[in-house]
Amino acid sequence: GKAQIGVYGLGTMGSALALNMAEHGFDVAVTNREADWIAPFMTEAGDLAACLQSFEDLQGFIAALATPRIILFMIPSGAPMDEMLERITPLLEPGDIVIDGGNADFHDTRRRVGKLSVLRLYYVGLGVSGGEAGARHGPSMMMGGSAEAWARIAPILTAIAARHEGSPCVAHLGPDGAGHFVKTVHNGIEYADMQVIAELYSLMRNGLALPPAEIGALFEAWNAGPLRSYLVEITAKLLSYADPETGHPMIDVIKDAAGQKGTGRWSVIEAQRMGQSASMIEAAVGARSWSSEKDTRQAAEAVLGGAVGAVDASPEVLAEAFLAARILAHAQGFRVLAAASEEYDWSLDFATIARVWRAGCIIRSALLDEIAVACEGDLPEGQLILDPGLAQTLARCVPALRQVVCSAVHGGHPVPALSAGLAWYDSMRLGHGSANMIQAQRDMFGHHGFERLGQAGRHHGPWWD
């Protein structure tokens, strides 16, 4: 019979998703640009191959699909997707659904939705999180597109999604680019959380002189409490490994230069464009950029000195600082979502987003369970930091964050994300800030004018009289 869905792209994520679908009893057609990937994939599929039909040519692949067709593309984002659309649209018919499951820039998704709608084709931007294991056994998925397309693909996506206490971690979040935008912000929060973990690790390693295995044990303990999360879990695990070549802790032989493919940077750029600043994500993106200048840092160490001092913070204090920082990173991410929802008229539902993030994705955590509940009520000012429960946790944990940042700064340890989170918190909790000075300067040098407290309208200082 005809296949219910086609998967184009048998890289890590495409293969895993195709196998996941087959395991749930769907008939799946598969193909790949490099034909020589197909046979090994079918071998790997084992018994599941019964639900899989493989094709070396695009025409055969398309012909094998039940109409109207559903095709999921798992290929590199950007130009390859546009080239793919050029090739495939002439072979499709009105009503067919094209799903882009990559980490696409949501602006591209919006453009493609428009382009394909002219051909009466549906274009779906699907954020897929969870890495290979997630894709294979249950990813978290963020769908953007039309309600008609959602109605047709929902049965498949719901079946293969991760489950949180029985409810599937997939949802139709909004039209056109909404799904890819939410995935981008998910990745932004992922960047911030990873950077916070890296900073805390470094403080324990270089400021408390703890060996990797002991730090791993601490992360493992943290994973049993309010800090429980997938990233904490894998951090604990990876710290227990030794390098088979040298016998050193594995973490010590890995070059300290981080890669990045763009989603973190996009979160920051979009936030800034909308008059927001997700400063912890910015710090995380920046820290990755600085890290890649390894040669410069090594030269600088010889000139500027690389000594760092002891850190005055117990692991308990570090844990509280971590929780505060994690709340702040999510609060910044949700602010960016709110701004985009308004700008693009997406009516994003934060409770649904938080629920989709509770299982399957990289940032899944105990905190997200709490955030999902918080978002069900009315968030004061739309701000997570003002949710009564989260505000209370912040009040309890921010003193620890303060202690950690002070001590780190004093000892010369870089803590860009932790300190950015604290600066944002301190800026937001002051009803009266320092921007009166900015306004006075702007008026004095440029006659820009300012509002007076409690008095609308544009005023100028006596310096102009």
Residue 316 C-beta: closest distance to ligand 6PG, Å: 30
Regarding 53 and contact with ligand 6PG (CB under 6 A), the answer is: no
**429 marked as binding residue:** no
Angle, alpha carbons 41-44-49 (nearest 5°): 80
Between 272 and 289, CB nearer to ligand 6PG: 289
Residue 28 C-beta: closest distance to ligand 6PG, Å: 21
Residue 263 C-beta: closest distance to ligand 6PG, Å: 6
Candidate list 45, 340, 361, 405; residue touching ligand 6PG; CB under 6 A: 361
Between 184 and 352, CB nearer to ligand 6PG: 184
Query: 368: Cβ–Cβ under 8 A, 6 or more apart, which residues?
Result: 330, 354, 357, 358
Tokens at residue 181, please?
């935008």
Candidate list 53, 235, 263, 279; residue touching ligand 6PG; CB under 6 A: 263
- Candidates 12, 24, 355; CA nearest to 157 is 24
Site size with ligand 6PG, rule: CB under 6 A: 13
CA dihedral 247, 250, 252, 255 (to 10 degrees): 120
Between 267 and 393, CB nearer to ligand 6PG: 267
H-helix or E-strand spanning residue 332? helix 315-344
Tokens at residue 117, please?
């709608």
Regarding 100 and contact with ligand 6PG (CB under 6 A), the answer is: no
Candidate list 9, 101, 130, 145; residue touching ligand 6PG; CB under 6 A: 130
φ/ψ (deg, to 5) at 379: -75, 125
Tell me the per-residue interface mask from 151 to 190 with ligand 6PG, x by CB under 6 A, - otherwise.
------------------------------------x--x
Is the bond leading into 414 cis (omega within 30 degrees of zero)?
Answer: no
> Which runs of consecutive H residues, i.e. helices, occur in 203-314?
212-222, 230-238, 250-253, 263-273, 279-291, 294-304
Residue 328 C-beta: closest distance to ligand 6PG, Å: 20
Of 44, 83, 183, 342, which residue is the catalytic one? Answer: 183
d(CA 5, CA 130): 21
Between 251 and 362, CB nearer to ligand 6PG: 362
Applying the rule CB under 6 A, the residues between 188 and 207 that interact with ligand 6PG are 190
SS3 57: coil
SS3 452: strand
**330 marked as binding residue:** no
Candidate list 20, 54, 103, 229; residue touching ligand 6PG; CB under 6 A: 103
Is 183 annotated as catalytic? yes
Is 190 annotated as catalytic? yes
Between 105 and 190, CB nearer to ligand 6PG: 190
Residue 430 C-beta: closest distance to ligand 6PG, Å: 34
Query: 27: Cβ–Cβ under 8 A, 6 or more apart, which residues?
Result: 1, 2, 3, 4, 5, 51, 53
d(CA 43, CA 300): 51
Residue 140 C-beta: closest distance to ligand 6PG, Å: 8
Half-sphere exposure of 223 (CA within 13 A, CB side): 17
Between 190 and 270, CB nearer to ligand 6PG: 190
Query: 113: Cβ–Cβ under 8 A, 6 or more apart, which residues?
Result: 123, 125, 145, 175, 176, 177
Regarding 129 and contact with ligand 6PG (CB under 6 A), the answer is: yes
Query: Which residue numbers are catalytic?
Result: 183, 190
Q: Show binding-site residues.
A: 103, 129-131, 186-187, 191, 261, 288, 442, 448
Binding site for ligand 6PG (CB under 6 A): 103, 129-131, 187, 190, 259-261, 263-264, 361-362
